[in-house]
């Protein structure tokens, strides 16, 4: 496994420029809340630590990952953020539902990236087990929410 024994959430703050004027949206799926709330906390705390004003962070909650693209689109239309982070967690079960939700969510977020001028960061864990999700939401592999916040800052500053 490529991530074995590595914390992938390490980054260099000096590479991020000055994000103090950025407006960032975060859309968080409620499903698998223990995982998504840890991802959210990682993203939110990183944004604030790097200088994004708390007043410039807008958070929206949705029931599950499937609803993320719709809410991201509404947030872009309503609040005009510089970037949006889509946070979700889908864990493999016994049916094909996992495949459909993962594919639709990824496609919906990718479509927003090609159809709008606002970058939407994919922070949706698609894990085989609960333990894998925990390891990537603040466990031994770091917190993908931190990585998503760093990507949001970087992408928002591209224009």
Give the residue numbers marked as catalytic: 97
Q: Using CA atoms, how far apart are residues 43 and 32, in angstroms rounded to an integer?
A: 17
Report, in angstroms and rounded to the nearest whole number, the Rg of the chain calculated over CA atoms: 15
Three-class SS state of 146: helix
User: Which H or E run includes 37?
Assistant: helix 33-49
Q: Using CA atoms, how far apart are residues 44 and 139, in angstroms rounded to an integer?
A: 17
């Amino acid at each position: 496994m490529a991530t074995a024994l590595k914390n992938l959430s390490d980054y260099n703050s000096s590479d991020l420029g000055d994000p103090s004027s950025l407006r960032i949206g975060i859309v968080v799926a409620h499903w698998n809340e223990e995982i998504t709330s840890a991802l959210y906390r990682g993203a939110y705390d990183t944004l604030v630590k790097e200088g994004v004003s708390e007043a410039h962070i807008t958070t929206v909650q949705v029931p599950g990952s499937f609803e993320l693209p719709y809410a991201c689109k509404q947030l872009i239309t309503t609040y005009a953020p510089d970037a949006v982070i889509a946070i979700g967690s889908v864990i493999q079960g016994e049916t094909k539902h996992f495949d459909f939700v993962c594919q639709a969510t990824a496609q919906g977020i990718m479509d927003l990236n090609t159809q709008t001028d606002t970058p939407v960061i994919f922070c949706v864990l698609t894990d085989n087990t609960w333990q894998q999700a925990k390891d990537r939401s603040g466990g031994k592999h770091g917190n993908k929410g931190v990585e998503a916040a760093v990507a949001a800052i970087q992408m928002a500053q591209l224009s």
